[in-house]
Structure 1
């Protein structure tokens, strides 16, 4: 018999206890529009803001193939476009056959350098995006070097999500080296003393794909409704009817869809409405060629 503690059940005086969907995010993600479409008095979203290095943790199956702690979870995945989400999952020890992946958009690579760096004088308007051949590999700052170890529990977020990227940007701000980041991440951790240049997409820096993923074993109406919201559907839309009839087929792996709220960081510090908890600072422009690249190509 449902009780006030049962998700979606009616409590005292007709109150409703909402079902909660746990959404794992990554630096640069901006799910606020998706969350706003999805949230109602019966449903809400709890964000868990992770680093890129821990983005697959919530997909690691628990005992008997269940989701960790038995909670419904959906999360962002970001992978290089010269690879695939299946390769990312396999490298983390997760069987791709156990996971639904819906691809939403692509992100362009950008390079961040200090104002005193030689590349800061690059003229984007005259010469276009910076070729990757102009970058000295020995100067590259890899955010992974500065990121903390992923937490053992996927529901435990780091105190400062994106600290690896933040530290790398702080170092290049001194004029030492460069760091290549997705455009949305560069905007999120931008500084006044850092110049952001778009990079030519090639085999060296092909850009990134971004999507949502969840375990097939925990597919549910709650999960499918959130995926529908991410695809632009609002509650009550007739396009959601098929989700109730065939939830396991509503979002086949590898299917490309254009999603709303693609790569624009939302207002800083807001987590309840769905934006990243880390502080978002608009990247500064300094001199010619200081504009960052486009945040994402939607298809």
Structure 2
């Protein structure tokens, strides 16, 4: 007996009008270019000179974070020999003035206040700040490595030879003899329990700068300049 309700295919499924639709063709997505692998930096060294009192710690920390493949070595240099020391380092923190020349790059960074270092028992500690006039009648000690060359009217000249360096001058002051004037960073570097210091309000400041020889300009030097100038890791030079 013939079944009603129309014809069915051999599978028992009804035929679609107009025949079966072909399956849509799948187009392959274009291959994306893979990013090039980062260039591997060869390990190398960067030597930074620094005069006493300079505090490059925060810059060194940033350098090590941004430039882990470049080992930074800190080398202490004296102010008296800072110009000649530039022949042996990549760059240096120096104290101005430094002998200017066409073969030298110099970038001033910050200025330090002058301070008077005195014995903790000195009457001068009663003041929060001092002026040159307050030092009249005081024995003002000038060590051989003095960097400020401050003239104090009516100061008393020491009856002994100038100390060889700032550390010796501070030790003399700690014994209760005289005062010594220096940039604040040096006073902090030579801080002792038996001495104190006060800002010399009308004294000369001392500028710390970054310097390097033009012929020694490299990508690493320019990277360090970016660090001290506060550039971010992604900013252009």
- Give the TM-score normalised by structure 1: 0.55
1:123 to 124, 127, 134: 127
> Is 1:76 aligned to residue 93 of structure 2?
yes
Kept in 1, the 8 Å contact 2:46–2:90? The answer is yes
CA distance in 2, matches of 1:52, 1:109: 16
Higher strand share: 2
Q: Which has the larger radius of gyration?
A: 2
**CA shift in 2, pair 1:74/1:220, >3 Å:** same
Aligned counterpart, 2:82 = 55
Aligned counterpart, 1:194 = 195
Aligned counterpart, 1:282 = none
1:110 to 111, 115, 118: 115
**CA shift in 2, pair 1:200/1:50, >3 Å:** same
1:126-151 Cα shifts (integer Å, max 9, x gaps):
xxx201122248722223269xxxxx
Higher helix share: 1
1:107: Cα distance to partner?
A: 0.5
In structure 2, list runs of 5 or more residues that go unmatched. 1-38, 147-163
Kept in 1, the 8 Å contact 2:80–2:145? The answer is no
Aligned counterpart, 2:59 = 34
More displaced stretch, 133-142 vs 17-26 = 133-142
1:51: Cα distance to partner?
A: 2.6
CA distance in 1, matches of 2:71, 2:141: 38
In structure 1, list runs of 5 or more residues that go unmatched. 1-8, 11-15, 60-66, 80-84, 90-94, 147-162, 244-299
Aligned counterpart, 1:277 = none
- Count of matched residue pairs: 180
1:115: Cα distance to partner?
A: 2.4
User: Which structure carries more relative contact order (alpha carbon 8 Å, separation 6+)?
Assistant: 1
**CA shift in 2, pair 1:52/1:145, >3 Å:** closer
**CA shift in 2, pair 1:143/1:17, >3 Å:** farther
1:171: Cα distance to partner?
A: 0.6
SS in 2 for 1:75: strand
